[in-house]
Amino acid sequence: SYTHTSVGLGDAVKAINTPVVEVHISNTHKREDFRHVSYISSGAKGVILGFGLQSYELAIRSFL
């Protein structure tokens, strides 16, 4: 839920050089409208969503 509410967390991601992948178990675009906004994605290397727990595996693979 911090993805949709924390401007500070988004700023922190943008302030570091470490690659970040935003991961969501569910497809946030199929959920409530406020979940369609992400303060993280503009600073992230990529976004993975909607693949259930496999989303985490896909994120790890993106770094390999």
Domains located in the chain, CATH noted: 2-63 (3.40.50.9100)
| Residue of 42, 45, 54 whose CA lies nearest to 3 | 42
Contact between 39 and 4 under an 8 Å Cβ cutoff? The reply is yes
| Residue of 42, 39, 43 whose CA lies nearest to 14 | 43
Average pLDDT score, the chain: 94
What pLDDT digit, counting tens, does each position of 15-41 carry?
999 999 999 999 999 998 988 899 999
pTM of the entire predicted model: 0.85
Pair of tokens at residue 16? 């570091």
Pair of tokens at residue 15? 């302030």
